[in-house]
Amino acid sequence: MPMVQINVWKGFEEEKIEYLIKNITQAFVEVDVPAQAVEILVNEVPKSHWGVGGELCSVKFKDVGPGK
């Protein structure tokens, strides 16, 4: 049973999360895994708790994506 974890910034649009869940599940179905066996967990993380290149995402990406 596949378990996929996705981390996104807090405030990611619910429609986009639904899209990801649907299409990631479909990718597994295409390789013969039953849809009911696919688990997907989406974690929302505040930009202030996520860093890239030694810098907080809340600073580095202040004008990008959810939570801007």
Chain segment 15-67, per-residue pLDDT in tens: 999 999 999 999 999 999 999 999 999 999 999 999 999 999 999 998 887 76
40: CATH:
3.30.429.10
Catalytic residues: 2
Q: How many domains does the chain have?
A: 1
The boundaries of the domain holding residue 27 are: 3-60
Q: pTM for this one?
A: 0.84
- Dihedral pair phi/psi, residue 26, rounded to 5°: -60, -35
CA-to-CA dists, residue 14 to 6, 8, 56, angstroms: 13, 11, 24
| Domain membership flag for residue 67 | no
